Amino acid sequence: MRRALVLLIALLAACRTTRPAGEETPVAPLTSTSPSDAQRQLTARRAQLTGERSLLRIRATNGDRSQSFRAQLQIDAAGRMLLTAYTPIGTTAIRLYADNAEVVFINDLEDTWWHGSASDFSRSFGFFGNTPPYAMALLIAGLPTEGITSDYAASGLARATVGDVIVTFEPPSYPPQHVSIVRGAQKLEIETLESAMTTASVAKPTVSNGYRCCLAPRL
C-alpha cells in the first residue's frame, strides 16, 4: 500500500505541467478595428515582448500517419524557445529548444537527443521547412516576425507564407485559437488552450545521463 501511494504521488507530480518561474498575466486581445491597425498593434507587441507561455493541443499528420498530444510552448525576448510535448499521462515526451546559435531536440521516450544548427534541423524535421524554430514559435503565438509574408484581419494574423510552408489562423485572432501549419503532406493543427505573458527566460534543457546522441529529430 505504501509503495502504491508513493507511486501515485510521483505520477500526479509528473502530470503537472511545469510552469517557468516569473510573473504571468493573461494575453489581452487586440483592440484593432482594421487589418492595418492589427498589424500595427501586433508589431508593437512583438517589439515589447518579454516572454510568452502557451498550453497547446497539437495534431501532427505526416502522410497517412497522425498523432495528437498536449504541449507547452515558451518564448522569450532573447530569441529562445522551448516546445515540450507530453504523453497522455503528463510525462515529458519530447523537448525542442532553440536559440540564436543552436537547436536541441530531446526524445525522452527513446532516451535520445540531437543538437545542431537551425539549417541542420530543417533538413531533418520537415514540418517547419526552412523556417527557424523561433520564428515559427512566434507565429504559433500569433506574433509577426521579420522576413515572413503575413496577411492580417482586423482581429489578428490571418495567414503567413514561409517558402513552401503555409500557416493559417482560423479564425484570425490574437491570441490565436487554431493554427494550421501545412507543408506538402505534413500538417500541424494547433489549438491554444491557455496563453500568458511572462517575465521568465527560457532555460536550455539538460540531457539526462545515458541518452544516446545524435539521432535525427522526429515526432
Task: Supply the pLDDT for residue 21.
Answer: 62
For the beta carbon of residue 126, count every other beta carbon within 10 angstroms.
Answer: 15
Whether 36 is in a domain gets the answer yes
Q: Could you report the per-residue pLDDT of 86-103, keeping only the tens digit for each?
A: 999 999 999 999 998 899
Number of helical H runs and strand E runs in the chain: 4, 13
For residue 19, tell me if it sits in a domain: no
User: How high is the mean pLDDT of the chain?
Assistant: 88
The answer as to whether 9 is a domain residue is no
In this structure, is residue 202 part of a structural domain?
Answer: yes
**Which pLDDT score is estimated for 13?**
44
CATH number, position 49: 2.50.20.10
- Domain-located, residue 16: no
Cell 541542420 locates to 120
Give 150's contacts (C-beta < 8 A, 6+ positions apart).
39, 144, 157, 159, 160, 161
Q: How far apart are CA 215 and CA 195, in angstroms?
A: 32
Distances, alpha carbon 70 to alpha carbons 21, 58, 187, 199, 207, in Å: 21, 6, 16, 23, 21
Q: Please, which pLDDT band fits residue 168 given cuts at 50, 70 and 90?
A: very high
In a domain, 8, yes or no: no
pLDDT digits (tens, 9 = 90+) for 23-54: 899 999 999 999 999 999 999 999 999 999 99
Instruction: Please give the tally of structural domains in the chain.
Output: 1
Domain span at residue 91 reads 27-213
pLDDT at position 1, please? Answer: 46
Whether residue 199 lies inside any domain: the answer is: yes
Residue 10 lies in a domain: no
For 44-98, list the strands marked E by DSSP.
51-62, 65-76, 81-86, 92-98
Q: Look up residue 78 and give its three cell numbers.
A: 532573447
